[in-house]
Chains A and B, each alone.
Chain A
Amino acid sequence: MASLKRSVESDPLAANISNKIYVRSTKSGKVQKIVREVYLRRDIPCSSKLCQECQHQMVIPKDALGKPIPFVLSDSPAGTKVFPQGHYLVPDTNAFLTAMDLFEQDSAFYDVIVLQIVLEELRNRSLPLYNRLISLTKSEDKRFYVFFNEFRLETHVPRLEGETVNDRNDRAVRKAVAWYGQHLARIKGKSVPAIVMLSNDRDNLKKAKQEGINACSLADYVKQLKDGEKLLDMIPETQDQDQIKEKRPGDNLYPEYFSMSKMMTGVKNNLLHQGIFNVSPYNYLEGSIRVPAFPKALLILGRENINRAVDGDLVVVEVLPKDQWKEPSTQVIEEDAITKNENPDAEESDDFVSEKERKALQEEVKRTHSKTTEGHAQPTARVVGVIKRNWRQYVGHIDQSSVSQSAQQGRKQDSVFVIPMDKKIPKIRLRTRQVSELLGKRILVTIDAWDRSSRHPSGHFVRSLGELETKAAETEALLLEYDVQYRPFPKTVLDCLPKEGHDWRVPQSLEDPGWKDRQDLRDLLICSIDPIGCQDIDDALHSRPLPNGNFEVGVHIADVSHFVKPGNAMDAEASIRGTTVYLVDKRIDMLPMLLGTDLCSLKPYVERYAFSVIWEMTPDADIVGSRFTKSVIKSREAFSYEQAQLRVDDSSQQDELTTSIRTLLALSKKLKQKRLDAGALSLSSPEVKVQMESETSDPIDVKTKVHLDTMSLVEEFMLLANTSVARRIYEAFPQTAILRRHGAPPKTNFDELANQLKVKRGLDLSVESSRALADSLDRCVDEKEPFFNTLVRIMATRCMMSAEYFCSGTQAYPEFRHYGLASEIYTHFTSPIRRYADLMAHRQLAAAIEYEAVHPSTRSRGKLEAVCKNINVRHRNAQLAGRASIAYYVGQALRGKATEEDGFVMKIFSNGFVVLVPRFGIESLIRLRDLAEVEPQAEFDAENYVLETKGSREVRLELFQKVRVRVTDQKDETTGKRGVKMELVKAY
């Protein structure tokens, strides 16, 4: 019987075929054995520019356009002390896993060979790191080459019997290194670069030595480099096998995580719950998690229950028994205050929950026990495992108190704590040699690990952003914290711009393809109204009376989709950025300057392409008809809100432009009234504006924004345009229209506020519909205190859901509703220069009016959903970054000054209260211990929201109360952080 198996002897090509066998588990629970044949080849180039053999004798692989892919590795790579002849690096998987930051350095790590096996392993272990490595391989100047070692005959390594996968992969790496060495050694006449394997695995290094391969550990290699000392900090602590002490069970501070399969089983069967872990901004020991099984979030209290979860992680929790249910804390617990003066070196602290933390908890228990009503306790849970870490790079600064004296002088490695800017992130233990240099700087760090035996997570230093409180450092810190892409646009993006640059003009000839299907609206009296100094003018308006007594009103939006074609590099970049981010002194554009501030911007006196929405309206602002068209316009004037307001108010101005603005104003007021009648909410958030000194752009004053009629004029017509466009694109694309919805907030969100209003003012907040809410908010007035209404609105705004972009196919029509605007359907159309969603809406509208064909990317639901998800996140981050920027500048404007201002109590705790100062739009916590030298005794009545102090200072504070506070700035000596500090002067 001849064997049916493929035999090596009989088949001449057998050596070129290998196979790979593994087990695949599918999501549905199927388990399959997969056998893949691997066809080995000899024509995969080494990609070294030195290698003549590969360049000439081989068919060079071509890219999609048929152009040969250029060779990557330099012909004169940099040398080090040990390899003066130059070298190529071959890192193993662990090197990338532990020190990706190193590879992203500009000063070193060029000419790197990324083996396929390493890349694949990295993808399995960490997708974010994989993506970072991929972007490195794409950058031309770093010269990273992916070598498909598994497919090249000479470097393919079949797995030996009894060999573990890891050992086999290590062997494959060594084999590839050896092959590269032999392959390049054949080059004649030139000095050949050394091939250096980078690995932290002792065993691998030892074997490499035996096989005569150049190999270094990361640390050894970095020491050979010029600025090695600094880079050394970026290598995380290596957990060498022999370094790990035999840990006694008692040494583990945290409970062990469940196995992945146990968690998955539990989650599937609803015994455990999965969700995103959130830390309370007021209490770092209190977290909450929203899980699909329950309408309200579960509480997670205390270090042990939080069990090494960090804000944003996807975790699995177990609900605790009822006797451990608690009330959410009414106390403010801040990490820096409580764990101050901890010694980062002393890891073997006997008690895991520190004395101070314990005390804080005791208070808690006392309070719970003193309660007569048990009904208030909320279900609590504990974290039993982490599905996915959401660790990123964190901005922070070194806690001065954690630095030992010796560390400030010497250059030996020392442990310090880094306090992240984000209060929700625990402090990070960092080992560094440059303590003295990094003190007082904003630094970027990453978390590497959080062991069961370590109280705090450990991380490593990435780079320094600069001195604390310098504008550059703080701005960059903000951008990094909110993940804003602020690097300059790459060349590929700039290549997509029109070649004419700033000289681009609307073509003169009407025969030009640019004029195809475009309406000529150049003779209309169009003007734009924007904030002062606005350069990216998205929108312009016009109105004119019609013979039948109605009005024609037009909204003209910059035609960005004409310049940004779907699918090109600029479009990809814009879809990633998602939105333009406005900081006080800086704007980070979504589109390159040329488009944003010139070619697309509807500047006055020049012709521009636009996308116009034109309505016919009755004098009562009822819409008779609407149409959409691409157009060419010429704006007559660019007004600021203030200018426009002055012009409208000045009755001597009777020219046509001014009259048309007056018409618009009159119509907008009617539109607004209609909207309010339909139940639109008028919400509020404290808005301020920082005034800068023009030369140095140092902040000099803070102003609250004044509301002008012209602002709501523009707003109303933009809302109208958005709604009209939303209807149109939904009609054309019922499955794929990009829309924006604002979900009705769950009733429970308002429970607290409604109760507060009821108890304190006897006011009823009805939340059945947006109309009811709007009406009841209108009733929330206090004759003596005009600001009370605004205060309630600010607090109500915080109970709302956030609006989101979505793809119409993913929701049922009733869910489209925009709660805040009380509109059935809504989208964003009017700011395509600064929002990607608007650009998508433009493309869809253009397709809907048959101006152009539908591009696949605006039609594929999967892609649109991904885009929506991204822009929702970006939008939120941009808002947060903007607010944080204002907060920082407000702090800077107050620097060195002390002012007394009126404020209002917004939130009350048993050991402090939060005051909002409308003048500056800031809120700050005042603790009881700040009230007087000796912390006064206090009695907290949680039911009535009253805090009464006795002893060293006697005050009675209650919710919504007006207070007088002294606002100063203060730099906390231990944390090096400047913040607004408020002191209570008196309670009204």
Chain B
Amino acid sequence: MASSQHVLLSPAELSYLHSSLSLTPPLRPDGRSPTQYRPLSAETGILPGTNGSARICFADGTEAIVGVKAEVEKTKRRWDDDTIFSENNHHQQQQQQQQQQQEGEEENEGRNNNDEEGGSSDWVELTVEIPGYRDDDSGTVFLGQMLSEALLADGGFVKRLRINRRFHWKLFLDILLISPPLSYPLPLLSLTTHLALLATRLPKLKSEGDEDPFFDDDWAAAPYLYARDPATKRVAERPPVTLLVMAVGGNIIFDPSKEELAVADVVLAVSVGDDAQGKGEDRMDVDGSNPGRNLKLLSIRTVDPPSRLTPPGVANAANSAYGHAQVVNTGANQKMPEARQTESEAVEGVWKPPRGGAKAVVMGALVQKVLVRGGVADEVLDALEGVDTS
């Protein structure tokens, strides 16, 4: 699915939209401030048969449901590793380590890490379903890719799924958009997934060490995938969220609507995580007035705005098909920024899709804006914290 459907707006309307979004402060069609999200309502635990589930409705009528199911799976091991209890072969392992040390320190460490704590990205299976689209539609696959990328980026999430050296949980996330895609659904799906993961519980492990896992049959005893602080009942570390940000002119706009996307210069999907580990250290430096989270950038994807999908009109004069091959051959005008302007000049009041890649400066500014302490990402996470996930 493309980032947006065709918007039935005339070039003049698009141009108007573009210029009003380029104002400082920008004027958005629905009157939101640039950093304001659409109002949403959310609930968790709607699917009793799942390990965790959530549902979010945006005010514009888009709605998504996410269900999380977990299964115990045997961890793939190195072909020569058939030990059961690590304590039994401790001696042997030490020997191996010594050998490896001779071979090369770096490799050894990497391998060991993988063996002891690490997880693998195939422990999470994520499927996205958008009504009206095939599940192998490039847009749907891309959405799924972005969402799973956020989860898998730093390997922190899969570590939570580790049961012991021999077993892990395999998590199945089923992400369903249940309304027609009125706007690019990435933020909605990401937030719903976030909530569903927060509400996810895994049966309590009773066995110890590397034994075959054995679980408590009491569901009430099942711990959350994201543990709660027993005192405050608050979640210590939160799953990642993916924010959709766009730039128009010099303005940065969060959670763009369908129409806004149509005139975007750059659209970015930025996944941020809650860096709990860094939190403790950083708190010392930060003064109390800024109690924001320590955000961690997990991944960035550029999303093509619709404007990019329409080929720009090229003047016959510059078109090689019309016998101006020599112009191309010299290549001089391509290197010069001025050359573009000669191709087609912007006409006031008529929409013309932007051309060329996003500027690094703009991209930097976008990411900066997302990660700023106490910024939008924080606001979103705070808002989601208000949802009852127990």
Contact = CB atoms under 8 A, between A and B. Distances in A.
A1 interface: yes
Contacts, number: 85
Nearest to B45: A5
B323 interface: no
| Size band of the interface chain B makes with A | 20 to 34
Contact of A261 (B46, B208, B220, B222): B208
Contacts of A10: none
A269 interface: yes
A260 B88 CA distance: 18
Interface string A1-30: 101110000000000000101111100011
A262 interface: yes
Contacts of A35: 48-49
Contacts of B50: 33
B385 interface: no
Contact of A21 (B84, B210, B219): B219
Nearest to A160: B220
Interface in B53-95: 55, 57, 63, 70-72, 84-85, 88
Given A35-B48, A259-B211, A165 B219 contact: no
B206 interface: yes
Contacts of B218: 22-23, 165
Given A1-B41, A1-B57, A261-B206, A25 B51 contact: no
A29 B212 contact: yes
Contacts of A24: 217
B211 A261 contact: yes
Contacts of B220: 21, 159, 161, 163, 165
Contacts of B222: 23
Nearest to B390: A161
Main secondary structure of the interface of B (DSSP, over half): loop
B216 to A, nearest CB: 7
Contact of A33 (B49, B206, B207): B49
Contacts of B343: none
Nearest to A271: B84
A5 B43 contact: yes
A269 B46 contact: no
B219 A23 contact: yes
Contacts of A411: none
A20 to B, nearest CB: 9
B71 A30 contact: yes
A5 B46 contact: yes
Contacts of A269: 84
Contacts of A261: 206-208, 211-214
B249 interface: no
Interface string B102-117: 0000000000000000
Contacts of A165: 218, 220
Interface in B201-231: 203, 206-220, 222
B57 A25 contact: no
B48 A19 contact: yes
B88 to A, nearest CB: 8
A265 B71 contact: no
Given A30-B71, A269-B84, A4 B46 contact: yes
Contact of B55 (A4, A21, A163, A265): A4
Nearest to A3: B43
Contacts of A161: 220
Contacts of B219: 21-23, 33
A21 B48 contact: yes
A30 B74 CA distance: 11
B84 A265 contact: yes
Interface string B232-276: 000000000000000000000000000000000000000000000
18 contacts: A1-B57, A3-B46, A21-B219, A23-B219, A25-B215, A29-B213, A31-B203, A31-B213, A33-B49, A33-B50, A33-B51, A33-B219, A165-B220, A261-B206, A261-B212, A261-B213, A262-B209, A264-B212
Given A1-B63, A4-B43, 14 more contacts: A1-B41, A1-B55, A19-B48, A23-B219, A25-B215, A25-B217, A29-B213, A31-B70, A31-B72, A35-B49, A261-B206, A261-B207, A261-B212, A268-B212
Pick the 5 closest A-B CB pairs, nearest first.
A261-B207, A261-B214, A265-B211, A265-B212, A1-B41
